[in-house]
């Protein structure tokens, strides 16, 4: 994770933070981190079931813990997983 922080400037402490998904009664939490040169989507699924999030556009998974993949423009996160796109 520390290597990601060095390689991805949008993870810096002074980057903007915007919540994209935090629905009541759902465990999936998705947010955007961005600065002048980069924007990233970070998704956390602490649930014991798979979760999905519709992205505005397809993005590659840059780092993940657990199962994370993008199919078309849908992010699919396995149970108890985390991804940076």
Name the residue with higher pLDDT: 44 or 8: 44
Residue-wise pLDDT for 10-67, tens only, equals 888 889 999 999 988 889 999 999 999 999 999 999 999 999 999 999 999 999 999 9
Q: Cα dihedral sign for 14, 19, 34, 40?
A: positive
CB under 8 Å to 51, separation ≥6 — which residues?
26, 27, 28, 45, 76, 77
- The pTM for the full model equals 0.90
How far is 69 from 51, CA to CA, in rounded Å?
Answer: 11
């Amino acid at each position: 994770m520390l290597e990601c922080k060095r390689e991805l400037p949008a993870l810096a402490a002074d980057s903007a933070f915007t919540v994209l998904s935090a629905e009541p009664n759902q465990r999936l939490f998705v947010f955007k981190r961005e600065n002048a040169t980069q924007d990233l989507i970070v998704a956390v699924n602490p649930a014991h079931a798979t979760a999905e999030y519709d992205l505005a556009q397809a993005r590659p998974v840059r780092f993940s813990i657990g199962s994370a993949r993008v199919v078309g423009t849908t992010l699919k996160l396995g149970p108890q997983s985390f991804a940076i796109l």
